[in-house]
């Protein structure tokens, strides 16, 4: 079968990736074999090329987000059938889905509703499930009224805004000047241009000095540390990039919470319930898409042989929205 691979350990740039013939995988007892129809492209796909992963053997097939049709089932699989339309978010340490076929454990899978295309299903995995975890799994939403979501034009931020709006929260988001019009389609209550405005001052004005109930940080450690000052009493910071330094932060006095999202970590957690939640969250996102409540924000559908160029475009910040590749 054809696969897009990192052929050798020293192949550390996107341009070194190759489409080659590799053996079609055989599903292990608790796996299924998927005939790939569409894959989602993510920043992590090129970042792992540059950094490498110690667990890889070579050639290593890239790709995390798959949508396709079950072509075979492992010996212990009883609740999934050949021919079912499924999608799932994979393990970056294993051979991936930028190929004609891929094997995956059943816990990560969800059935694709009839109303949802393979392309849409493939677009609602890595970034969308990270956003879903950040909004629906990590924080206690009981007393949340206001939410600050950083990088609202990004793959995580754009879905997080949509999910937060479904809850009826007042949503603030930070974006750069050139992406303001793009973000308006998600209907945040306030868009803060971080290049022209002081985010601290705007949050103080918008909340009357009380701070924000929930902040989702997709930027990094330094921004997360500033976010701790922006939180309201009993506020929660959810970070998906790095953990802030809490030295000197009055966490107890202000009743603050910090949650960390590591979506792919579930694969290596050994926690069967958390692994199964990958599939549950996937199904919930697919149902929201089927109901027209979430826009997958596909910018472009490309071909298999354009994946390399697509990853380079993502790295060069030339993509706003989701890139999906059609495989078969």
> Tens of pLDDT along 15-41?
999 999 999 999 999 999 999 999 999
> Tens of pLDDT along 264-295?
999 999 999 999 999 999 999 999 999 999 99
Please state the rounded mean pLDDT for residues 314-318. 95
Question: Is domain 139-260 classified as CATH 3.10.20.30?
Answer: no
* Domain residue ranges of the chain, discontinuous segments joined by +: 2-126+266-326, 139-260
> Tens of pLDDT along 163-194?
999 999 999 999 999 999 999 999 999 999 99
Domain range 2-126+266-326, its CATH number among 2.40.30.10, 3.90.180.10, 3.40.50.880, 3.40.50.970:
3.90.180.10
Q: Under a CB-based contact definition with an 8 Å cutoff, are residues 109 and 65 in contact?
A: no
- Tell me the β-bridge partners of 202: none
- Residue 296: partners with Cβ closer than 8 Å, 6 or more residues away: 120, 123, 124, 128, 289, 322
Tell me what pLDDT residue 102 has. Answer: 98
Q: Which helix (H) or strand (E) holds 132?
A: helix 126-132
C-alpha to C-alpha distance for 198 and 65, rounded to whole angstroms = 36
Q: Is the pLDDT of residue 328 over 90?
A: no
Tell me what pLDDT residue 241 has. Answer: 92
């Amino acid at each position: 079968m054809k696969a897009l691979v990192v052929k050798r350990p020293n192949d550390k740039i996107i341009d070194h990736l190759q489409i080659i013939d590799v053996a079609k995988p055989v599903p292990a007892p608790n796996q299924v074999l998927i005939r790939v129809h569409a894959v989602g492209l993510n920043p992590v796909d090129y970042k792992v090329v540059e950094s490498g992963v110690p667990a890889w053997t070579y050639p290593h097939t890239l790709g995390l987000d798959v949508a396709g049709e079950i072509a075979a089932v492992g010996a212990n699989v009883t609740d999934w059938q050949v021919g079912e339309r499924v999608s799932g978010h994979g393990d970056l340490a294993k051979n991936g889905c930028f190929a004609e076929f891929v094997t995956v454990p059943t816990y990560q899978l969800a059935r694709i509703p009839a109303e949802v295309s393979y392309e849409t299903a493939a677009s609602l995995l890595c970034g969308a499930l990270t956003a879903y975890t950040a909004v629906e799994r990590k924080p206690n939403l009981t007393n949340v009224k206001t939410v600050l979501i950083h990088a609202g034009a990004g793959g995580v931020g754009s879905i997080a805004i949509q999910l937060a709006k479904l809850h009826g929260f007042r949503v603030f988001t930070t974006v750069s000047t050139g992406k303001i019009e793009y973000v308006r389609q998600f209907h945040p209550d306030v868009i803060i241009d971080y290049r022209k405005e002081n985010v601290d001052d705007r949050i103080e004005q918008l909340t009357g000095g009380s701070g924000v109930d929930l902040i989702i940080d997709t930027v990094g450690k330094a921004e997360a540390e500033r976010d701790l000052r922006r939180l309201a009493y009993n506020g929660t910071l959810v970070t998906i990039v790095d953990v802030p330094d809490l030295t000197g932060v009055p966490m107890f006095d202000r009743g603050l919470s910090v949650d960390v999202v590591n979506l792919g970590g579930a694969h290596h957690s050994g926690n069967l319930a958390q692994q199964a939640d990958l599939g549950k969250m996937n199904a919930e996102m697919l149902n929201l898409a089927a109901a027209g409540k979430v826009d997958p924000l596909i910018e472009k559908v490309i071909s298999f042989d354009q994946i390399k160029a697509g990853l380079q475009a993502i790295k060069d910040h030339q993509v706003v929205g989701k890139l999906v590749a059609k495989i078969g």
